[in-house]
């Protein structure tokens, strides 16, 4: 059934840049425009013509968009609603998280389960954005600014027919010709880098999970960190694959914006079976354990001093501190005046405080890049 769109709000919501990108991706040719203010763009394909208004401020904008949809309906022999849906995704990478199986056979989920899927999808996209900035084992409370800014721009699209589907739209800016981009030193948009990193990380994570199931070894997850795998991503995938201990089948699909070239050698569909959810959970625990804890404050009594030779510029101390409320001995390398403070704290049985990156080394804990070393009161 063909439908003529008359809803002015829906027509006003159409973005001219999306229509232009859609037309170019479908082979429509933009005609040269004479000099002067550019308020229209003319596109042709065979015997069809479309006059595209370039601003929604024009009085007849909804009428012209309606005419463009009618022309596309004739040219493509497709329903206008289908075309309108495609317009919004032509210049956007789209990630679809699909819950498979009987629990979502009618396209619905219990509200608490749906919330978990949406939350885990958000966390998955945030993990990919963080990895696109700087791949790490684990992103604690402080995320890269560029990643958090991206998450304020990414959009949740409409649900789709079939099983329960969460749709994420990552809109891309208009493409600049490759020769001009190279000349101006313009790199690939961050939005595309996030989607690309998500695909790369999902490939590495699913391969690591399959290897772990076969061998019982989780080491592939740590090796895949440069490809975008992190404890955050594994936590998100575990959340998608399980709910209150019940495992489920989930698919993650990536559709690349038609307005830009598709990255080479990238997968676009990943299916997680019920057996991989627990593997991702264990991988997240492993990566968190191995990840340095940034801006960690060690506080406790110094019970060991070692400097060889005695007049060396640096020495190693051991502090009886605690990590997450559990008593731990923590090794710290200090230099100069900081080591002198450690000697003073040791002699007077005072508490020493230092801030740095805490990392587990075998069974030991070490504080790297120690700074802000000072003697403090036990009760502070």
- The pLDDT > 70 percentage for the chain reads 93
User: Residue 59 has what DSSP assignment?
Assistant: T
Instruction: Give 265's pLDDT tier (boundaries 50, 70, 90).
Output: confident
- pLDDT on residue 184: 57
Residues 257, 259, 263: CA angle, nearest 5 degrees: 55
Average pLDDT over residues 314-329: 91
Task: For residues 266 and 195, give the distance between their C-alpha atoms in angstroms, rounded to a whole number.
Answer: 10
- The pLDDT > 90 percentage for the chain reads 53
Task: For residues 256 and 291, give the distance between their C-alpha atoms in angstroms, rounded to a whole number.
Answer: 32
- pLDDT on residue 206: 96
E strands present in 87-160: 92-99, 155-156
Average pLDDT over residues 18-42: 80
Lowest-confidence pick of 183-187, 303-307, 333-337, 359-363: 183-187
Residues 157 and 265 in one domain: yes
Residues 301 and 275 in one domain: no
Task: For residues 320 and 299, give the distance between their C-alpha atoms in angstroms, rounded to a whole number.
Answer: 8
Instruction: Give 243's pLDDT tier (boundaries 50, 70, 90).
Output: confident
Kindly state whether residue 3 falls inside one of the protein's structural domains: no
Kindly state whether residue 1 falls inside one of the protein's structural domains: no
Domain of residue 368 covers 293-376
Task: For residues 186 and 364, give the distance between their C-alpha atoms in angstroms, rounded to a whole number.
Answer: 45
Tell me which of 271, 290, 309 is where a domain ends.
290
Q: CB–CB of 167/96 below 8 Å?
A: yes
Kindly state whether residue 184 falls inside one of the protein's structural domains: yes
Kindly state whether residue 370 falls inside one of the protein's structural domains: yes
Please determine, for residue 35, whether its predicted confidence score (pLDDT) is greater than 70: no
Which residue in 355, 358, 288, 294 sits closest to 328, CA to CA? 358
Instruction: Give 245's pLDDT tier (boundaries 50, 70, 90).
Output: confident
Q: CB–CB of 48/70 below 8 Å?
A: no
Partnered with residue 332 across adjacent β-strands are: 317, 367
Residues 50 and 117 in one domain: no
Residues 186 and 243 in one domain: yes
Instruction: Give 242's pLDDT tier (boundaries 50, 70, 90).
Output: confident
Instruction: Give 185's pLDDT tier (boundaries 50, 70, 90).
Output: low
What percent helix, strand, coil does the chain show, rounded to 5?
40, 25, 35
Residues 260 and 318 in one domain: no
Instruction: Give 170's pLDDT tier (boundaries 50, 70, 90).
Output: very high
Which has more pLDDT, 342 or 185? Answer: 342
Does the pTM exceed 0.85?
no
Partnered with residue 330 across adjacent β-strands are: 319, 365
Task: For residues 55 and 65, give the distance between their C-alpha atoms in angstroms, rounded to a whole number.
Answer: 11
Token pair listed for 287: 């990566």
**326-335/364-376 β-pairing:** parallel
Residues 75 and 120 in one domain: no
Task: For residues 129 and 203, give the distance between their C-alpha atoms in angstroms, rounded to a whole number.
Answer: 16
Residues 143 and 267 in one domain: yes
Residues 172 and 261 in one domain: yes
Residues 95, 100, 106: CA angle, nearest 5 degrees: 105
Task: For residues 70 and 80, give the distance between their C-alpha atoms in angstroms, rounded to a whole number.
Answer: 7
- pLDDT on residue 226: 97
Length of the chain: 380
Kindly state whether residue 280 falls inside one of the protein's structural domains: yes
Which has more pLDDT, 308 or 226? Answer: 226
Kindly state whether residue 2 falls inside one of the protein's structural domains: no
Residues 70 and 199 in one domain: no
Report the number of distinct structural domains present in the chain.
Answer: 3
Partnered with residue 252 across adjacent β-strands are: 97, 270
CATH label of the domain that carries residue 304: 2.40.50.140
Task: Please report, for residues 11, 75, 135, 279, the alpha-carbon distance to residue 19 in angstroms, rounded to integers and kept in the order given.
Answer: 12, 15, 35, 43
Tell me which of 265, 290, 315 is where a domain ends.
290
Kindly state whether residue 218 falls inside one of the protein's structural domains: yes
Kindly state whether residue 344 falls inside one of the protein's structural domains: yes
Lowest-confidence pick of 172-181, 211-220, 318-327, 352-361: 172-181
Residues 297 and 164 in one domain: no
Task: For residues 325 and 245, give the distance between their C-alpha atoms in angstroms, rounded to a whole number.
Answer: 28
Please determine, for residue 180, whether its predicted confidence score (pLDDT) is greater than 80: no
Task: For residues 294 and 142, give the distance between their C-alpha atoms in angstroms, rounded to a whole number.
Answer: 9
Tell me which of 290, 321, 350 is where a domain ends.
290
Residues 328 and 252 in one domain: no
Please determine, for residue 181, whether its predicted confidence score (pLDDT) is greater than 90: no
CATH label of the domain that carries residue 69: 3.30.160
Residues 235 and 260 in one domain: yes
């Amino acid at each position: 059934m063909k439908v003529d769109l008359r809803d002015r709000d829906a027509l006003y919501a159409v973005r001219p840049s999306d229509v232009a990108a859609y037309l170019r991706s479908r082979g429509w040719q933009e005609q040269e425009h004479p000099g002067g203010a550019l308020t229209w763009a003319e596109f042709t394909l065979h015997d069809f013509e479309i006059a595209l208004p370039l601003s929604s401020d024009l009085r007849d904008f909804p009428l012209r968009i309606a005419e463009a949809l009618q022309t596309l309906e004739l040219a493509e022999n497709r329903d206008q609603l289908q075309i309108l849906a495609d317009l919004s995704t032509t210049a956007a990478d789209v990630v679809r998280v699909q819950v498979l199986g009987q629990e979502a056979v009618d396209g619905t989920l219990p509200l608490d389960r749906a919330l978990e899927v949406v939350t885990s999808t958000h966390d998955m996209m945030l993990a990919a954005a963080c990895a696109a900035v700087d791949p790490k084992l684990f992103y604690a409370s402080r995320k890269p600014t560029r990643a958090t800014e991206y998450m304020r721009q990414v959009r949740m699209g409409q649900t789709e027919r079939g099983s329960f589907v969460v749709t994420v739209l990552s809109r891309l800016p208009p493409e600049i010709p490759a020769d001009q981009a190279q000349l101006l030193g313009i790199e690939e948009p961050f939005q595309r880098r996030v989607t690309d990193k998500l695909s790369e990380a999902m490939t590495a994570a699913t391969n690591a999970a399959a290897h772990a199931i076969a061998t019982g070894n989780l080491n592939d997850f740590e090796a895949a960190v440069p490809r975008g795998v992190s404890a955050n991503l594994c936590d998100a995938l575990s959340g998608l694959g399980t709910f209150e201990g019940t495992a489920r089948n989930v698919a993650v699909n990536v559709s690349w914006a038609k307005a830009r070239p598709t990255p080479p050698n990238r997968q676009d569909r990943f299916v997680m079976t019920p057996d991989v959810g627990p593997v991702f959970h264990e991988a997240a625990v492993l990566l968190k354990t191995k990840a340095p804890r940034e801006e960690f404050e060690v506080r406790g009594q110094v019970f060991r001093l070692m400097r060889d030779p005695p007049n060396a510029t640096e020495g190693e101390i051991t502090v009886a501190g605690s990590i997450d409320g559990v008593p731990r001995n923590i090794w710290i390398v200090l230099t100069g005046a900081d080591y002198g403070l450690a000697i003073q704290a040791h002699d007077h049985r005072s508490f020493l405080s230092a801030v740095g990156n805490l990392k587990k080394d075998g069974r030991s804990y070490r504080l790297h890049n120690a700074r802000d070393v000072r003697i403090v009161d036990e009760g502070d």
